[in-house]
Chains A and B, each alone.
Chain A
Amino acid sequence: MSAPAISVRGLTRRFGTEVAVDDLTFDVEPGEVVALLGPNGAGKTTTVRMLNGVLRPDAGSCHVLGLDPAADGDAVRRRTGVLTENAGLDDRLTALENLVLYARIRGLDGDVAATRGAELLERFGMGPRASSLVQGFSTGQRRRVALARALLHEPEVLFLDEPTSGLDPEATRAVVELIASLAREHGRTVILCTHFLGEAGQLSDRMAVLQRGRLVAFGRPAELGEELWPGLAVDVELAGPADEAVLAWLRAVEGVVDVESQPSGAQVRVTGRDRVPAVVAALVAREVAVYAAVPRPPTLEDVYFGLTTEEGFGR
């Protein structure tokens, strides 16, 4: 098994008395896309800053591509690309200059940077604006230029903070496809900080849910859902909301863990898919009309809110 691309052990950072990141531990495999999810102030940006050697941890350690960012920050940053939460483009430079001048600081030859930069801008639909000053660009246009800049030096690890924020649906789709291909076809490791659960679900292999600096959960969405809500939820469609008698009959079926009345019938939690026929049979035996029984695995949204809200099972 290959060494992890990113390894984090007990990573902690305080600002004064406030603990921004608290004892994080996780590994990210090479070529994996991991979504860092969490509300504002959860510690996502601070984590990325420590992983890229911009901030030093107060306790614990992290390694990126086998290097310690606190000791070898330059070496780490040479091999990583970052898209920050705000695009961070200099308004006084053109789109292409923003790419080329920053690439030169990274040690890339100016001509090579200009060629690659022009190709990337073209790819992101910014080719016609390459020579325009960034001042006056829309949020989406800035995002696309910044993403091109993050990719210009072909980094092995990418830290992307809200990569599709402000993009129109077409551009969002292009960026999502690009990130997926970077990981799957080019073996890049991607840390994706996002509020968009759909995007995280589409792109990430695993997700790390942060809350108030702590890692609440880390794993595949389906596994996390299984941990939160063992078994399988089944939406049973009836003529109307299930009454107490129907709920009692359902509870009596072997393998039923939980039952809840719904406007269109009931939601039944069973130990496994094999118990669905028994649930339907029990209702049919009592002459209850069953229009549908649809297993509903937890969505990423269910898992996320389950983990982060006060009512969540994970708390």
Chain B
Amino acid sequence: MSPRVEAMRAVVAKDLIAVRRSKAVILPMLIVPALLLVVMPMGIGLAARAAHGPDVSSVLAKLPGNVADPITRLPQREQLIVLVNGYLLAPLFLIVPLMVASVLAADAFAGEKERRTLETVLHLPIRDRDLFLAKVLGAFLPALAVSWIGFVLFALVSNTIAWPVLHRIFVPTGLWLVVIFWVAPAVAALGMGVMVRVSARARTAQEANQLGGAVILPLIFLAVGQSTGLLLVTAPVAIGIGLAIWVVALWLTVRGAERFTRDAIAARM
């Protein structure tokens, strides 16, 4: 392994060990995915297992035909599970990679400043660009790992809890697969692309989170749009959205790497 790659790997390893021991960072990274990907599908599954499943016909009526029709044809007890766990939760799931990437990226430079460790890092023999990329990877890789592990748990919980009702495995759907393997990495890259740059300018991780918080707005729009039927996110649409997010995320990351210099960071210390 080249010394440059080894140095980047060492920076990522250092950051990950430190993050693992920081409750303030690790707790939100675990609680939100646990609520969204374990507790929520479990609740939906349990509700559907009741003798008379909740009536979701009014919600289905708002959805476009090609999404609503296959669900409408299902028995009423199955409709809630398939609608929520198979369709509505998909865009909401994107909060997980975005949040994890954002929290870690905010910690990347602003957190180091706050802990007064940044100067030591700047005095290390690692190129400016490699340091930036190491910090980016230190946010991106855990975001991806948490998302994918979270999805495996979600699939296990959803299918297990719904088995007495559905008697089949219904997750992952095509939409879920696109979201997991294409859109989620893009969203993580976007979160980290925005937040690493904000983090380099902010004085504290909290300030970075506040400044970069707006990055979550498009996702909320997506989730609300999905649940109200305003925006139809089917698998092909998700592929298009993912592509657009990837373009923006990569542009932000490349521009960030080009403009990142020790000098600019040290001058602000």
- Chain B hits for A82, CB < 8 A: 120, 123
Interface residues of A in 98-156 (CB under 8 A from B): 101-102, 104-107, 133, 146
> Digit string of A47-67 for contact with B (CB within 8 Å is 1, else 0)?
001001111100000000000
- Chain B hits for A93, CB < 8 A: 14, 17-18, 21
Interface positions of B (Cβ within 8 A of A)? 3, 6-7, 10-11, 13-14, 17-19, 21-22, 115-120, 122-127, 262-263, 266-267
- Chain B hits for A105, CB < 8 A: 7, 10-11, 14, 124-126
A-B CB proximity, top 3 nearest: A88-B120, A104-B10, A77-B125
Task: Given A54-B119, A88-B118, output 15 extra A-B contacts at Cβ < 8 Å.
Answer: A49-B266, A52-B123, A74-B127, A77-B125, A84-B123, A88-B120, A89-B117, A90-B115, A92-B18, A92-B19, A92-B21, A93-B18, A97-B17, A101-B13, A104-B6
B119 touches A88 (CB 8 A): yes
Interface size on A, residues (CB 8 A): 31
B263 touches A54 (CB 8 A): yes
By DSSP majority rule, is chain B's interface helix, strand, loop, or mixed?
helix
Nearest opposing residue in chain B for A20, CB measure? B267
* Nearest chain B CB to A275 CB, angstrom units: 52
Please name 17 pairs of A and B residues whose Cβ atoms are closer than 8 Å in the assembled complex, sorted by A: A15-B267, A49-B266, A54-B119, A55-B267, A73-B262, A74-B125, A77-B125, A82-B123, A84-B120, A84-B123, A88-B120, A92-B19, A101-B10, A105-B14, A105-B126, A106-B124, A107-B125
Nearest opposing residue in chain B for A48, CB measure? B123
Nearest opposing residue in chain A for B122, CB measure? A54
A101 touches B17 (CB 8 A): yes
Alpha-carbon gap, A107 to B126, bound state (A): 10
Nearest opposing residue in chain A for B20, CB measure? A92
Alpha-carbon gap, A15 to B21, bound state (A): 37
A258 located at the interface, meaning its Cβ lies under 8 Å from any Cβ of chain B in the complex: no
Nearest opposing residue in chain B for A78, CB measure? B125
- Chain B hits for A15, CB < 8 A: 267
Nearest opposing residue in chain A for B8, CB measure? A105
B7 touches A102 (CB 8 A): no
A40 located at the interface, meaning its Cβ lies under 8 Å from any Cβ of chain B in the complex: no
Interface positions of A (Cβ within 8 A of B)? 15, 49, 52-56, 73-75, 77-78, 80, 82, 84, 86, 88-93, 97, 101-102, 104-107, 133, 146
- Chain B hits for A55, CB < 8 A: 262-263, 266-267
- Chain B hits for A106, CB < 8 A: 7, 124-125
- Chain B hits for A74, CB < 8 A: 125-127
With A78-B125, A92-B22 as given contacts, are A86 and B116 in contact (CB-CB < 8 Å)? yes
Alpha-carbon gap, A80 to B19, bound state (A): 28
B120 touches A102 (CB 8 A): yes
- Chain B hits for A97, CB < 8 A: 17
* Nearest chain A CB to B117 CB, angstrom units: 5
Alpha-carbon gap, A286 to B120, bound state (A): 66
A91 touches B115 (CB 8 A): yes
Nearest opposing residue in chain A for B134, CB measure? A105
Alpha-carbon gap, A55 to B127, bound state (A): 13
Alpha-carbon gap, A133 to B22, bound state (A): 12
Identify A104's interface contact among B13, B122, B127, B266, CB under 8 A: B13
Most chain A C-beta atoms within 10 Å of own C-beta, residue among B18, B19, B123? B123
Nearest opposing residue in chain A for B13, CB measure? A101
Alpha-carbon gap, A53 to B124, bound state (A): 10
Identify B123's interface contact among A54, A75, A91, A107, CB under 8 A: A54
* Nearest chain B CB to A307 CB, angstrom units: 28
